[in-house]
Structure 1
């Protein structure tokens, strides 16, 4: 049997130094979400396939089915059916966190207080072809606000502002949050006389990937006239960091009540953003988002200088994703594609950690008999919040300094001989001073690994 291990594409596994970066990002994201009043939930990894297929556009091409390898009898496992052979009970791994969250709201509506503000940081799975920044297993960081019956429009302006707060704390460089309202292109297309609104949205949403020529060809194949195609492309070219987009749309001469609603709603979002974070949001009328459940404002976020990489944070408003037949629970949410974001930053060397381990201090061992003393020192340092480990074995101090240096651990602690003080050495500067484990504290910047932005 061969012992060779082949990598499995699409399932990223970070090295320790990269994992330090990921955890630092997670800490900042979680803390910022909580500062804005969002509470944490976690949902199960699997959902009925019928629910996953109910929304999400091409989700049927992305879902990983789940079955028991040791299922008894004719379980229908080969066909993706449930354990008892019932295809309606087939399970799949969730491909996003919005669909399971909608189910969670329905199941727990009597126990939740609305409007309900939740954040969720979990793995999701998509069975698509792996490529740069696109994985089969990845981490998403979602926030949503859901209400019962109706949802106030001001929440649609709040979502991107929360993300702007998160990104301002991360060493990611410049970014652009693009915002649109699905009612604008939908109303515009209806005003043009187009009938396949969803199909047109999906085609125009490919503009960044295939360019105007490709979009023109696909729209023509779908039956659009030259004038309709020209108007669709003109709409998609409109963008602004203020509310001037509305006048530019009206200047195209197309009218429809749905278009008017969309322009009014997007104007309100932009006005709120301009008041709090001028220039952070860009009204970009080519943004459509591919998932079918979005009904109003939609968001995408790009890293400046990496526009071809696509969106690293997206979302939107959904009015009909969760309903129990009596009450509808509209919501709005936005999601940071953490794995996708880190893949670009780490692969380009734009972000790194100051060291690949949380350890701040290594307690050196001259002889193995000193291990009990070393354990006591380490325990006292840890009790004061200083990450500490003990040398794996007794060795010459030079060797133990090299051990610390290879792992970028900044300090080595030396136990004093009987009657002498302990000492600690900064192996970067060579400075060594007497120290007591009850009082010594490293510089604040050395206490934990810190993120560093590397300008290319």
Structure 2
């Protein structure tokens, strides 16, 4: 794990740890692109008005201002003031609206960027962190089948990472809202916000919130909590919900949609997806499928991947661009991979070969050797000084470079594997190290495909 940072909440990985982070990003990129998602990047700042259109997280947003601005308090209430984005979904919605005329719908994108959030720093919660998002957005409508696809893509992507078992916990806001209305609770957003606190404060306190803040009766609070206890790995949740005796058209619609997701996942990603009717997601813009993901045995870390369906987050006048997407907390995931040593890098530098110097006049010839190796994709450094060979080898060892190259006065070449001590004749025009030595490798210590 990286040393303690001088500024908490802004993690900086050491080179060998950065290799692991890059492996995670490269793996996600590969899987996303295999499924046809193209890459975009949005600006780091949005207007305050844009960021706070949906949800209530203004306390976590970092405002942006010049040091010499006279009236800081005015900027806080100005919807045109600038602030750093706290997620990638809201900026993406703005991006879609502004570029709709240039995009082919349904538009599939992935995005890997830094975001900023004013949280209390701890493992899994940073103030500056990287997210990796995928979304599909439609023009006016978006078939529900994309909700199913997004869940399957994320299950495949996470399965390719060096992490322990995980569970995608899936619910549907229509199911929950329809149930609440069916028992007479009309402030469904308020109920969802209370249920979203279930794991943090417990059932008794949630019931108290429902009664005191939303005016629920004891029976209504108990019914809402009974729904939240339903959790299945198959579609049997449907009958369990119906057994509660509540009826509402929106409830039926949500049941049907969630059943499709769980049925597909049971077949294509068995054991990875769970119907969990306690999942609510606090942000108001979610309208259907909602997802949170935990590492089994590491639930205290929080969700490593979350998101869902939104209908009107991206809109222009009467025109809407409904979408569905999920966001992986890359920094949160990498911090746990490193702290628990789920994976390590074989070395901290890309360099595979150090070309030594016989004397100070051999630098140019050494660069010629290095150029031949680099031309074939072999990362190579040239020693800076013509120290004794033992010292040059120690430098390579300290850097984590596995091979050292020697050229004698007659122009004969040899390469030494300093790990095994084996030294053989070699031709810079054709010699290549073993595939696993060509670049740093990420070595998994958990049962995962790497």
Q: Same fold (TM over 0.5)?
A: yes
1:327 is aligned to 2:325: no
Cα distance in 2 for residues equivalent to 1:147 and 1:134: 32
Cα distance in 1 for residues equivalent to 2:50 and 2:255: 32
Moved more, 152-161 or 206-215: 206-215
Cα distance in 2 for residues equivalent to 1:335 and 1:379: 41
Cα distance in 2 for residues equivalent to 1:214 and 1:25: 38
Match of 1:380 in 2: 372
SS at match of 1:54: coil
Cα distance in 2 for residues equivalent to 1:143 and 1:352: 27
- Consecutive unaligned residues in structure 2, runs of 5 or more: none
1:24 is aligned to 2:23: yes
Q: Which of 213, 236, 248 is the matching residue for 2:240? A: 248
Match of 1:63 in 2: 61
Question: What TM-score, normalized to structure 1?
Answer: 0.94
SS at match of 1:440: coil
Match of 2:106 in 1: 115
Cα distance in 1 for residues equivalent to 2:222 and 2:87: 34
Contact residue 103 and residue 322 of structure 1 kept, 8 A: yes
Cα distance in 1 for residues equivalent to 2:184 and 2:407: 83
Contact residue 162 and residue 446 of structure 2 kept, 8 A: no
Contact residue 59 and residue 95 of structure 1 kept, 8 A: no
Match of 2:332 in 1: 340
Moved more, 98-107 or 271-280: 271-280
Cα distance in 2 for residues equivalent to 1:351 and 1:244: 37
How many residues matched? Answer: 443
Q: CA deviation at 1:79?
A: 3.0
Contact residue 357 and residue 449 of structure 1 kept, 8 A: yes
Q: Which of 211, 214, 238 is the matching residue for 2:202? A: 211
Contact residue 171 and residue 280 of structure 2 kept, 8 A: yes
Cα distance in 2 for residues equivalent to 1:205 and 1:124: 23
Match of 2:11 in 1: 12
Match of 1:48 in 2: 47
Cα distance in 1 for residues equivalent to 2:207 and 2:418: 63
Match of 2:381 in 1: 389
Match of 2:93 in 1: 102
Question: What TM-score, normalized to structure 2?
Answer: 0.95
Cα distance in 2 for residues equivalent to 1:145 and 1:319: 12
Q: CA deviation at 1:304?
A: 1.2
SS at match of 2:431: coil
Match of 1:169 in 2: 160
Cα distance in 2 for residues equivalent to 1:105 and 1:320: 12
Cα distance in 2 for residues equivalent to 1:331 and 1:118: 11
Match of 2:188 in 1: 197
| Structure possessing the higher relative contact order (Cα contacts under 8 Å, 6 or more residues apart) | 2
- Consecutive unaligned residues in structure 1, runs of 5 or more: none
Residue deviations 1:414-433 (CA, integer Å, cap 9, x gap): 122214x2111111111111
Contact residue 68 and residue 77 of structure 1 kept, 8 A: no
Superposition map of 1:32-431 within 5 A: 32-55=31-54, 57-70=55-68, 76-80=71-75, 87-222=78-213, 223-419=215-411, 421-431=412-422
Structure-2 change in CA distance of 1:173 and 1:196 (3 Å): same
Cα distance in 1 for residues equivalent to 2:324 and 2:78: 32
The list of structure 1 runs, each at least 4 consecutive aligned residues, that deviate by more than 6 angstroms after superposition, is none
Contact residue 306 and residue 326 of structure 2 kept, 8 A: yes
